[in-house]
Amino acid sequence: MQIIVVCGAGASSTFIALRVRRSAASRGLDVTAKAIALDNVDDALADADVLLLGAHLAESASDLERTAKKAGTALAVMPESVFTAPKGDDALDLALTAAGANS
């Protein structure tokens, strides 16, 4: 599964992607997670199964959801709690749920 994580500046999304990879590895799941800038979403969707969007970008969610849907990519908006969580389990679970709903 390919997960892309987007927040505004990119620093938070980098940490979340790292935590997601660690959580997936601890569960034995084959998951790739990477952070991308909002400006690069369109290019990244072609290879992505799930787009995790920062809560502060929720106002852009409907536009991004239409774009993601065209690419066959699920979208989920991460709650603020994901950003402060010490592990990536919540973000990973959100992505897995979104991917399952997109199937």
* Contact (CB, 8 A) for 49 and 24: no
When comparing pLDDT for 45 and 101, which is higher?
45
Task: Render 36-99 in DSSP notation, one character per residue.
Answer: E-GGGHHHHGGG-SEEEE-GGGGGGHHHHHHHHHHHT-EEEEPPHHHHH-SSSHHHHHHHHHHH
CATH code, residues 2-102: 3.40.50.2300
Residue 83 to residue 28: CA distance in whole angstroms: 23
Does residue 24 register a pLDDT over 90? yes
Give the pLDDT of residue 50.
Answer: 97
Q: How confident is the model at residue 12 (pLDDT cuts 50, 70, 90)?
A: confident
- pLDDT tens-digit readout, 27-79: 999 999 999 988 888 888 988 999 999 888 888 788 888 899 999 999 999 99
